[in-house]
Structure 1
Amino acid sequence: MASSDRGQFSSRFGFIMAAAGSAVGLGNVWGFPTQTASNGGAAFLLIYLLMMALLAFPMLVAELTIGRYGQSNPIGSLRKIWTNNRLLAVLFGTTAMLTASMILSFYAILAGWLIGFGVSPIMKLIGLQSLSEWLITFGTGRNVLLTVIFMLMTVFVVRRGVADGIEKWSSRLMPVLFALFLVLIIYIFTQHGAMDGLKMYLVPNWEHVNGGLVVNAMGQAFFSLSLGVGAMMVYGSYLSKDVNIPKTAGQVAIIDTGVAFFAGLLILPAMFVAKANGVQIFSETGELISSGNLVFTVLPSLFDSMGLVGEIVGVAFFALMVIAALTSSIAMLEVPVSCLQEEMKIKREKSAIILGLVILVFSVLIAANFDTLFDWVATASTMYMQPLLGVVWAIVIGWVWSRNALLKEIQQGYPEIEKTWFWRIWPIYVKVVCPIAIIMVFAYPFL
């Protein structure tokens, strides 16, 4: 299908906001800071930055290039490159679609909780105490209702299309996210105990550096950019041919890394402010408590201890979290929607509604059988399928696609690339180093 028949980003800014929004998710805002705090502070931060440059950025360029060349969904784009074995193209493109759908099915439940924690203080302020408590109390009814609300928000954006939905809302939501970060960081820095958290974040503890830390940092960098699930491939397919892909990918990676860094500047000082206010942040063994408890127990306790100002800060914090979740969920839903729209010739609006409902049914099943299904779905999709698909994309770029055809595609937006150090290193790097590095991330927990 020609690019003129499909949606397209209307500006480079819109694409960067959408791609950064896809990358900026709950992994950045609550996963990264606690990983950093548990792994030697700045020691983890520095290795994470290194892995972002050495692994995540080259793979981001790869996914965007496959998508822009194919001008199609992951199935169509892979089929255009993998001409000798179209069955494998369909198989792996479909697997990417299913993986994105699986991630969204559990992600929507977490995002629903964030909505509940954000709305709860407002209900409390207007006198609806029992509703306020219900919104933050774990239960199947509450989980299902909030998941439905979040999925409706996601479908609302995706059904509007690329420029009028994804680009427009990403361009609105991401600046709001940056502004909320700035306001919250400034406020937290004025509180007693914040400097202890800042010290933990920015002063490296090299004793924590080991193979596990390096692999954790590598995994965090890879997953933080939404790599492996086809989201960046789809977004790349909506790029015009005159866009400089390496430069644009670099800008997306920098924004994503910046958000993760600022999340650390917010979360770690906030944890130590909570500690100064009498909230427990360390377990009995002296380790930092888990990231789930941090977001849903420690920080709400901190906000409660701060009176009315704390309620306002709490609403702003959870609004930030919901925005981060929504910009990622939009990208995840776009993967199967683009496949259904282009492979089955079903209109976008109908595709978004059908797939939103199908994924919502799975979300409700997970919510109703939370103890059995939640961890299983999360582990299968993010720890197994996502990295293995990343290896496949590296193989496609390095071993399946001819180097000349790859060069011609990138040259359309960067005519002089053949003379650069990037082109001398990147193709062989993606061909050899990236698959080995990703397999190391995948295999390390089993060693």
Structure 2
Amino acid sequence: MTVRDSFHSRIGFVLAAAGSAIGLGNIWGFPTNAANNGGGAFLFVYLIVTLLLALPALYAEIYLGNQAQKNPVSALGEACAEKMPKFGRLAGKIGLSGAIMMLSFYTIVAGWMLSHALSAFVALLGFNDISQWLATDSTVRNVVFTPVFIILGAAIVHQGVHKGIEKWSARLMPILLMMLIGLIVYILQQDGATEGLKQYLIPDFNQVTDPKLIISAMGQAFFSLSIGVGGMMVYGSYMQKDKDIGKLVLSIGALDTFIAFLAGLLIIPALYVAQHAGQEVFVGNQLIGEGQLIFQILPALFSTMGAVGLLVATGFFSLLSIAALTSTISSTEVPVAYLVEEKKMTRAKATWLVSGVVLIASMTLVAFFDQLFGLVIQVLTTMLQPLSCLFYFIVVGWVWKRGNKLRDKALQGEQRWLGIWGNYLRFVCPILLTVVFINVAF
């Protein structure tokens, strides 16, 4: 019998899972969403949604994987075996598709990060023409840098869980945190930063009941924590069974939320610094360029700082590249684990096969960028991920009888806190998630 690869330490698991959660969703998506949805009001709602829904969903996903000790397709198939085995496996395969969807646009954006980091670096060396090409959005640039990032992720994943994912997450995460804090300290000393801080930290409570803001915050919370596509489930399966999942989830959620908060603390003040310097940042209440925001506004801001600005730009976009890489490897691991365990492929073959599929999907988005890019992100973050989380709640609370210790404790009233937590997952979370969808639909 083949022994499954696994994480060798709690801190290794937390850093890898936090690395999965901490990525472009935090440092690219969160500040953009916050700036477009009232700043402090978005932050306030985001924190509430994370506490009430996203962390329980993260718990449910990791718990399913940890109890089953299998990939998401097998884990959900086993959990639903007594009532709807085919539907469980189908949900797992939808999660695999979601992971591919995430990777298809994620690797494109990650390629932008890498090209901008190189652009600032080669500008420091005096190669201005090359720097200009690297900083200018083009199909050719996407075709060059998207595969580069796919290969970087594959190179780590094919080394395995302990030697690849755990080792590199433990190296990259502390570097990411130190770079982020250093950039915040620098930006907050610039003119205009105080206005950005007020916008970010002081909520307008008249906006917090806006359904658009709530669904945006919910989608952002699920996207930031990488839940709903199976990545956390497969990571949970690599952790020794029956570890204290609650403490691990709190550690991951706290670190992820902290990084998202820091990203807002960096980028929103930076927008107001750019505005103070004479750049047009907002049209009405909406950011110029939205998703392209940091590639349009921030490089122009950095360029006003001379050689120091180029160093800051190199550090900033290198930071984003690292954040993207730690998230890419978790999403890649979802279909890889399935192919290794169920199709009996070697890890190397499975990794490069998945990477080939992602490359085809990414190049399709590059070819039909205007039509597909935003649509894929919207479908994934506001539909597929929340619906997958709703399914996890139903499975843990109602469907999974065999092996579901959490449900048994809730029904029997044993260990009072576990009973309360189990009933919260059974009743409150599905209702809350359904209410949010109804409010948005109508």
Give the TM-score taking structure 2 as reference length.
0.94
2:206 is paired with a residue whose SS is helix
Deviation, 1:347, is 1.0
Give the direction of change, closer, same or farther, for the CA distance of 1:300–1:443 in structure 2 (3 Å limit): farther
Asked if 2 retains the 8 angstrom alpha-carbon contact of 1:69 and 1:409, the reply is no
Backbone CA RMSD of aligned residues = 2.1
Q: Within 5 Å, which residues of 2 pair with 1:76-225?
A: 76-84=74-82, 85-212=84-211, 213-225=213-225
Aligned residue in 2 for 1:10 = 8
Give the stretch that moved more between structures: 218-227 or 434-443.
Answer: 434-443
2:312 is paired with a residue whose SS is helix
2:130 is paired with a residue whose SS is helix
Q: Is 2:418 the counterpart of 1:419?
A: no
Deviation, 1:333, is 0.4
Give the direction of change, closer, same or farther, for the CA distance of 1:403–1:172 in structure 2 (3 Å limit): same
Aligned residue in 1 for 2:369 = 370
Deviation, 1:130, is 2.1
Give the direction of change, closer, same or farther, for the CA distance of 1:45–1:110 in structure 2 (3 Å limit): same
Aligned residue in 2 for 1:414 = none
Cα distance in 2 for partners of 1:345, 1:424 equals: 39
Q: Is 2:69 the counterpart of 1:71?
A: yes
Asked if 1 retains the 8 angstrom alpha-carbon contact of 2:6 and 2:239, the reply is yes
Give the stretch that moved more between structures: 195-204 or 297-306.
Answer: 195-204
Q: Is 2:22 the counterpart of 1:27?
A: no
Cα distance in 1 for partners of 2:133, 2:107 equals: 18
Asked if 2 retains the 8 angstrom alpha-carbon contact of 1:57 and 1:250, the reply is yes
Q: Is 2:305 the counterpart of 1:306?
A: yes
Cα distance in 2 for partners of 1:241, 1:201 equals: 41
Cα distance in 2 for partners of 1:290, 1:435 equals: 35
Q: Deviations over 1:112-171 (max 9, x none)?
A: 011111110122222322221221222222101100110011101110100011111111
Q: Deviations over 1:328-382 (max 9, x none)?
A: 1111100000011111000111110111112111111221221232223223333
Aligned partner of 1:262: which letter? Answer: L
Asked if 2 retains the 8 angstrom alpha-carbon contact of 1:194 and 1:272, the reply is yes
Paired positions, count: 438
Q: Is 2:287 the counterpart of 1:275?
A: no
Cα distance in 2 for partners of 1:135, 1:330 equals: 25
Give the direction of change, closer, same or farther, for the CA distance of 1:343–1:145 in structure 2 (3 Å limit): same
Q: Deviations over 1:245-298 (max 9, x none)?
A: 011101100000000111111111111111121111121x35443532421101
Aligned residue in 1 for 2:431 = 436
1:208 is paired with a residue whose SS is coil
Unaligned 5+ runs, structure 2? none
Q: Within 5 Å, which residues of 2 pair with 1:329-408?
A: 329-402=328-401, 405-407=404-406
Q: Within 5 Å, which residues of 2 pair with 1:25-64?
A: 25-64=23-62
Asked if 2 retains the 8 angstrom alpha-carbon contact of 1:30 and 1:291, the reply is no
Unaligned 5+ runs, structure 1? 412-416
Asked if 2 retains the 8 angstrom alpha-carbon contact of 1:108 and 1:363, the reply is yes
Cα distance in 1 for partners of 2:402, 2:247 equals: 20
Cα distance in 2 for partners of 1:409, 1:315 equals: 53
Identical-residue share of aligned pairs (%):
46
Aligned partner of 1:399: which letter? Answer: W
Cα distance in 2 for partners of 1:9, 1:299 equals: 38
Cα distance in 2 for partners of 1:102, 1:19 equals: 19
Cα distance in 2 for partners of 1:137, 1:427 equals: 51
Give the direction of change, closer, same or farther, for the CA distance of 1:26–1:441 in structure 2 (3 Å limit): farther
Cα distance in 1 for partners of 2:255, 2:195 equals: 26
Aligned residue in 1 for 2:317 = 318
Deviation, 1:398, is 0.9
Q: Deviations over 1:161-217 (max 9, x none)?
A: 000111111111110110001100111111111111111111222232223233332
Give the direction of change, closer, same or farther, for the CA distance of 1:380–1:49 in structure 2 (3 Å limit): closer
Deviation, 1:83, is 1.5
Give the TM-score taking structure 1 as reference length.
0.93
